[in-house]
């Protein structure tokens, strides 16, 4: 069972690495017939039979995942209906979540009133307050008629970045968009009795109950997350604290919480059942308690949103309950294998989630260090052994997935696990019942104590280890080293495991050679951010847009990408001008990475400059060289004070050159600044690659400027279906007429460039890291 489940998981994982979905023959389920091969007494035949069964498991996993993916991918929005008004009716499929201007929610489409259009069955919608009329009051389970504008799911594509398109596919969100405020939007009188919608209504009522009871209490969102799994209620700063202290697994519905609740109901039922002789004669107390405990786990799992850690625990408890009812013993490894198989059958995309690997890996480690060991230790020693196993055993996946480790995690978990699991969670769950709402105040006080202790740990020096993304082979060595180090006492040379862990820390990405630059034009949506790395230095030009709330391109894209590439500090940060799509991620970058100096055209009193160690205005004539790479500022002459909210012509223009090869970064300059550059720096303008001025706006890229730069490549940094319609068709065609190879971040993802004296090499991240779900943006399509 264990080896079959692992091989099935390997097949599922391998399918998710494919760039194109394979065409499956209709008879692929017949591969399961290999499982019926008869056994034999001959050792060679038994070995061959076992090998065939394991191959069958891989084949079935691959084929099953492909079949599910084909079914889901077939439900698509036609290209021609992107951005068009569509009237439809359906049901709000989940409790709406607030964003800075309205609500966001999944919507189950029941019918489409607009003729001759197909809309996917499940879509994600957003509302925006203030667009027109009053805000819509939307709740889970309600029937609505909306006029919507939709588009295909499309996310950014960057090294070490989050894959929004995979996330949307896993949740069966086959289109995204917004409710058109001026359309026909009204709540319908229809009601639904579907269990899924009723559960979502219950979750929303619990969230409302918490908000009304606790008001603006600082940690109310954490209690909501612990009760109903609404992780969006936890702020970005709180998640950062939990990650830095290694307790983030406790602040959502974890397997520990579900097991604790099931055990509580098991013990209570067992005690009460044994009080009645009649009940004991009718049905054994242990079996009755197992059923009640399983029902409690099922209820908690459903109300928590049915996330992977909760699924894994539920399926393991279900296996335990079934074996108990059948009066059979089952090994812990068999329960975990059964849970693995059921999770992947329910969700083949689970293998793409960090929670999948951490959840199953953590439980496997617990079994590894506790099962089949001789003798029984004191419970405190067992607890310490498990904490040690978690600390060592999760190093490889944490470095592979997040490039960071909490060094204070053992201490934090030592008090956070009992405090959260045995105090905060029970009080929170009891507080969901109206007669016991006063318990929410006790739960909040306990959570406040936990947060205070965690903050003290986070303030310690070296509380968090951050580094580059380790090579794949070093992760495999690290897993082997962790298992070796955690082997039972008496296993030979256990200390050798430490040696196998070292490559993950010591093998760093090779830096560029002398007189070579590695440049990344990030895909940040509608905005700009460019990283330049030489052999011993690194510069960031602009930091992309601010997204929503505490999310910006700095903490969501730039910092993870830079760390993964081995850039742990910046020698310089250049902010071209004061536009939010160019400086929106600056605060996050300055907080996460040491920055030697900041150069910009911002006003001296700008609040971002107060966060920098050293600031110098960018101005024409500045020149420096790093490792054989020349950096030269061509504009502005002197940063000028301006009353304009956005003064694009004050953008810092940076030329990066190695010999005769160069790259030109021009921010959002418009035709006036382009004319100045033509007058004063005509000889410095010809470039191998140009990042298009102002994202390809019609106000820039004049005929004279483009003709003089005469780039081999031009990069348009624009958001998918952006409302500005960048790049403008005339500008797009202007570069085409000159024979320039055109790249754009919405269609090509991040552009990775290797620049040296002989030329440059260009890599399109979206193309080279394509998966079968990767959206191909049509370059001729204009904004939604």
What letters, b where the CB count within 10 A reaches 16 and e where it falls short, cover 39-54? Answer: eeeeeeeeeebeeebb
Mean pLDDT by 10 residues, the chain (784 residues): 90 95 77 65 73 88 94 93 95 89 92 94 91 78 95 95 94 94 87 84 92 92 91 88 88 76 91 89 90 92 81 83 83 84 90 86 86 67 83 91 91 91 91 90 96 95 91 94 89 89 93 96 97 97 89 94 93 96 95 95 91 93 96 86 68 97 97 95 96 96 96 97 94 96 96 96 96 81 43
C-alpha–C-alpha distance, residues 705 and 748, integer Å: 25
Cβ neighbourhood burial of 171 (10 Å; 0-12, 13-18, 19+): middle
Number of neighbours of residue 567 by Cβ within 10 angstroms: 22
For 78: left if phi > 0, alpha if psi spans -120 to 50, otherwise beta; the answer is beta
Convert 555-583 into a string of H (helix), E (strand) and C (coil): HHHHHHHHHHCCCCCEEEEEECCCCHHHH
Peptide bond into 727 cis (omega under 30): yes
**Interacting residues of 517 by C-beta distance below 8 A, sequence separation 6+:** 532, 533, 534, 629, 656, 658, 753, 754, 755, 756
Residue 316 pLDDT: 80
Q: What are phi and psi of 110, to 5 degrees?
A: -105, -35
Sign of CA dihedral 240, 241, 245, 250: negative
Q: What are phi and psi of 470, to 5 degrees?
A: -70, 150
- Reference 765, options 745, 735, 737; nearest CA is 745
Look-up: residue for tokens 């951050």? Answer: 466
Number of neighbours of residue 345 by Cβ within 10 angstroms: 15
Residue 133 pLDDT: 60
Q: What is the pTM of this model?
A: 0.90
Contact 124, 149 (CB under 8 A): no
- Reference 413, options 384, 440, 442; nearest CA is 384
Structure token pair of residue 206? 């619990």
Look-up: residue for tokens 């909210």? Answer: 645
Residue 293 pLDDT: 93
Angle (CA) 157-168-90 rounded to 5° is 145
Task: Compute the residue count for the chain.
Answer: 784
Number of neighbours of residue 216 by Cβ within 10 angstroms: 6
Contact 165, 213 (CB under 8 A): no
Convert 258-302 into a string of H (helix), E (strand) and C (coil): HHHHHHHHHHHHHHHHCCCHHHHHHCCHHHHHHHHHHHHHHHHHH
For residue 423, give the DSSP letter.
Answer: I
CA distances from residue 637 to 605, 679, 685, 700 in whole angstroms, order as listed = 20, 12, 16, 19
**Distance, CA of 768 to chain centre:** 20
For 624: left if phi > 0, alpha if psi spans -120 to 50, otherwise beta; the answer is beta
**Interacting residues of 362 by C-beta distance below 8 A, sequence separation 6+:** 249, 390, 393, 394
Number of neighbours of residue 403 by Cβ within 10 angstroms: 21
- Reference 534, options 443, 407, 627; nearest CA is 627
C-alpha–C-alpha distance, residues 252 and 200, integer Å: 17
List, for residues 113-135, the tens digit of each pLDDT value. 999 999 999 999 999 887 656 67
C-alpha–C-alpha distance, residues 19 and 321, integer Å: 41
Contact 656, 665 (CB under 8 A): yes
- Reference 405, options 622, 282, 601, 244; nearest CA is 244
Residue 732 pLDDT: 96
Contact 70, 769 (CB under 8 A): no
- Reference 648, options 576, 586, 574; nearest CA is 576
- For 422-499, strand residue ranges (E) read 464-466
CA distances from residue 137 to 57, 86, 339, 642 in whole angstroms, order as listed = 49, 20, 40, 42
């Amino acid at each position: 069972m264990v080896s079959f489940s692992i091989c099935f998981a390997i097949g599922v994982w391998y399918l998710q690495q494919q760039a194109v979905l394979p065409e499956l023959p209709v008879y692929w389920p017949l591969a399961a017939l290999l499982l019926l091969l008869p056994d034999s007494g001959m050792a060679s035949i038994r070995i061959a039979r076992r090998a065939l069964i394991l191959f069958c498991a891989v084949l079935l996993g691959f084929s099953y995942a492909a079949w599910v993916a084909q079914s889901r991918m077939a439900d698509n929005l036609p290209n021609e209906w992107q951005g068009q008004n569509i009237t439809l009716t359906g049901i709000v499929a989940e409790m709406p979540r607030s964003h800075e201007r309205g609500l966001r929610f999944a919507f189950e489409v029941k019918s489409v009133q607009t003729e001759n259009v197909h809309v996917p069955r499940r879509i994600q919608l957003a509302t925006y307050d203030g667009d027109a009329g009053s805000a819509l009051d939307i709740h889970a389970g309600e029937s609505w008629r909306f006029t919507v504008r939709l588009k295909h799911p499309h996310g950014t594509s960057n090294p070490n970045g989050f894959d929004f398109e995979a996330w949307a596919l896993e949740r069966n969100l086959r289109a995204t968009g917004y409710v058109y405020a001026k359309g026909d939007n009204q709540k319908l009188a229809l009601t639904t009795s579907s269990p899924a919608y009723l559960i979502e209504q219950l979750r929303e009522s619990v969230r409302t109950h918490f908000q009304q009871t606790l008001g603006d209490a600082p940690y109310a969102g954490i209690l909501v997350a612990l009760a109903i799994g609404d992780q969006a209620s936890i702020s970005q700063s709180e998640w950062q604290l939990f990650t830095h202290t290694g307790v983030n697994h406790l602040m959502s519905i974890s397997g520990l919480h579900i097991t604790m609740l099931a055990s509580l109901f098991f013990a209570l039922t067992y005690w009460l059942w044994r009080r009645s002789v009649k009940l004991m004669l009718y049905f054994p107390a242990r079996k009755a308690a197992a059923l009640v405990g399983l029902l409690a786990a099922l209820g908690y799992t459903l109300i928590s949103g049915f996330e992977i850690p909760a699924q894994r625990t539920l399926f393991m408890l279900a296996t335990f309950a079934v074996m108990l009812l059948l009066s059979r013993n089952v090994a812990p490894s068999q329960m975990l294998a059964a849970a693995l198989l059921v999770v992947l059958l329910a969700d083949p995309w689970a293998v793409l989630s960090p929670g999948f690997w951490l959840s199953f890996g953590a439980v496997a480690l617990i079994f590894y260090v506790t099962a089949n060991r001789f003798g029984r230790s004191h419970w405190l020693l067992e607890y310490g052994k498990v904490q040690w196993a978690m600390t060592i055993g999760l190093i490889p996946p944490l470095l592979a997935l997040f490039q960071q480790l909490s060094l204070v995690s053992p201490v934090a978990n030592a008090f956070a696990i009992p405090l959260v699991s045995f105090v905060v969670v029970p009080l929170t769950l009891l507080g969901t019942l109206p007669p016991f709402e006063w318990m929410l105040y006790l739960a909040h006080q306990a959570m406040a104590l936990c947060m205070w202790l965690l903050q003290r740990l986070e303030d310690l020096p070296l509380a968090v280890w951050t580094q580059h993304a380790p090579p794949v082979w070093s992760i495999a060595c690290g897993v082997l080293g962790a298992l070796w180090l955690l082997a039972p006492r008496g296993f030979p040379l256990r200390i050798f495991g430490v040696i196998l862990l070292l490559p993950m820390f010591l093998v760093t990405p090779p830096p560029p050679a002398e007189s070579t630059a590695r440049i990344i034009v990030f895909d940040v949506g509608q905005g700009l951010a460019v990283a330049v790395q030489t052999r011993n230095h690194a510069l960031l030009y602009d930091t992309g847009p601010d997204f929503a709330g505490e999310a910006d391109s700095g903490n969501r894209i730039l910092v993870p990408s830079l760390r993964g590439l081995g850039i742990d500090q910046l020698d310089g940060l250049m902010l071209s001008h004061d536009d939010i799509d160019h400086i929106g991620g600056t605060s996050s970058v300055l907080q996460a990475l040491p920055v030697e100096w900041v150069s910009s055209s911002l006003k001296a009193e700008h609040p971002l400059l107060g966060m920098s160690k050293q600031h110098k205005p960018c101005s024409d004539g500045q020149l420096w060289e790093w490792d054989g790479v020349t950096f030269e500022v061509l504009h502005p002459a002197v940063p000028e004070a301006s009353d304009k909210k956005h003064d694009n012509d004050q953008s810092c223009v940076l030329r990066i050159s190695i010999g005769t090869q160069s790259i030109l970064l021009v921010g959002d300059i418009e035709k006036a600044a382009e004319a100045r550059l033509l007058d004063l720096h005509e000889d410095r303008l010809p470039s191998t690659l140009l990042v298009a001025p102002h994202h390809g706006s019609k106000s820039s890229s004049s005929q004279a400027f483009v003709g003089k730069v005469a780039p081999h490549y031009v990069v348009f940094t624009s958001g998918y279906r952006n409302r500005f319609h960048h790049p403008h068709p005339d500008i797009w065609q202007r570069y085409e007429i000159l024979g320039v190879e055109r790249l754009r971040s919405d269609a090509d993802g991040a552009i990775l460039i290797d620049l040296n004296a002989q030329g440059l090499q260009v890599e399109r991240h979206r193309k080279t890291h394509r998966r079968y779900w990767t959206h191909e943006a049509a370059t001729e399509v204009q904004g939604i």
